[in-house]
């Protein structure tokens, strides 16, 4: 499948779905993964002043939720965060220079992550899910992202997912 994705006739590299689990082992335990996710909220471009962490039950699954009051993510930045090796860090001494922290931290804590974000212009939903990749029998990582321009959001019908 990766060979079908080409740029100027050259096959692009693919990432095996097994990479998500392997990459998560860069964190020795759940506390370093949580610290990574918290650290992301304090980056200068995020500008969060508060973060809330909660544990909740959705159906029969225990879920951790992380919420902050930062600037939110545009579609472009969400795509970079859910990709591998892309760093959006700016500033004098960026911590996230490898573009790996969010993906490794979230996959250390669970098999699935859903990001809901509201920035100045965009409403975005992104998903990095080992469960989804297994269900669709993916050979490579696929990262679904849905985004809406805030000014055009009233044109869409949003459905309640959890009843």
At residue 55, the pLDDT reads 93
DSSP letters for 83-97 = SSS-----SSS-S-T
**pTM score, whole prediction:** 0.74
Q: Which domain holds residue 44?
A: 11-152
Task: Summarize the confidence of residues 86-99 as an average pLDDT.
Answer: 57
Phi/psi for 123 (5° steps) reads -115, 125
Does 3 reside within a domain? Answer: no
CATH number of the domain encompassing residue 45 = 3.30.565.10
Categorize the per-residue pLDDT at 27 as very low, low, confident or very high, splitting at 50, 70 and 90: confident
Please state, rounded to an integer, the average pLDDT across all residues of the chain. 78
How much of the chain, in percent, has pLDDT values that exceed 70?
74
Tell me how far apart the terminal alpha carbons of the chain are, to the nearest angstrom.
36
Tell me the DSSP string of 103-125.
Answer: HHHHHHH-SEEEEEEE-SSEEEE
Within-domain flag for 119: yes
Calpha distance 30→26 (Å, rounded):
11
3 pLDDT higher than 50: no
Whether 130 is covered by a domain: the verdict is yes
Give the chain's domain count: 1
Asked, for residue 4, whether it belongs to a domain, the answer is no
């Amino acid at each position: 499948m990766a060979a079908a994705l080409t740029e100027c006739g050259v096959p692009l590299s693919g990432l095996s779905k097994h990479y998500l689990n392997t990459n998560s082992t860069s964190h020795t335990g759940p506390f370093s993964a949580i610290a990574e996710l918290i650290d992301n909220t304090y980056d200068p471009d995020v500008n969060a002043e508060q973060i809330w962490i909660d544990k909740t039950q959705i159906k029969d699954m225990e879920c951790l939720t992380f919420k902050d009051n930062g600037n939110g993510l545009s579609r472009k930045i969400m795509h970079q965060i859910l990709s591998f090796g892309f760093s959006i860090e700016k500033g004098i001494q960026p911590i996230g220079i490898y573009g790996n922290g969010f993906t490794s931290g979230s996959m250390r804590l669970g098999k699935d992550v859903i990001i809901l974000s509201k920035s100045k212009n965009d409403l975005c939903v992104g998903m990095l899910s080992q469960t989804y990749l297994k269900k669709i029998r993916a050979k490579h990582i696929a990262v679904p992202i849905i985004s809406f321009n805030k000014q055009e959001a009233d044109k869409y019908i949003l459905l309640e997912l959890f009843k």
